[in-house]
Amino acid sequence: MCETTPELALTTPYRQAQRLLADWLERDVVGALREVFAVRAALAGLNGVEQHSLSRWLAWLCVAAASRGESILGRIRRLDSSLGASTEKALSHLPAGMDFQTVRSRRKSA
């Protein structure tokens, strides 16, 4: 008999926190300052599993930002120190070849 993979079910607080956090990361400094409390309030409503999932998602965003020559890990740390620490830990557990420091130090050819 064929095994099926269960569909990923995201809770409403997780989806809201992810949406607010993604929007917050895209904003300029002034816009981000206005929204910081809403993002922190959304993060406070997450349970441990959801926080872990969000940290893994943020780790992939850090890699994507590093490939563009940007860094978002500092902003995440300033937003929430425990989220920053768990994101940094998630970065260290990414698959081989996705090392954050390697992507960050990679030079682009002309």
20 domain-assigned: yes
Q: Is the pLDDT of residue 86 over 60?
A: yes
4 domain-assigned: no
Q: Which residues have C-beta within 8 Å of that of residue 21, sequence separation ≥ 6? A: 39, 42, 43, 54, 58
Closest CA to 83 of 33, 43, 45: 43
Residue 65's domain comprises 12-94
107 domain-assigned: no
Task: Quote the number of domains for the chain.
Answer: 1
1 domain-assigned: no
67 domain-assigned: yes
Q: Which two tokens stand for residue 4?
A: 């099926």
Torsions phi, psi of 16, nearest 5?
-65, -45
Q: Mind listing the pLDDT tens digit for each residue in 14-62?
A: 999 999 999 998 888 888 888 899 999 999 999 999 999 999 999 999 9
21 domain-assigned: yes
Is 0.95 surpassed by the pTM of this model? no
Neighbours of 34 (CB within 10 A): 10
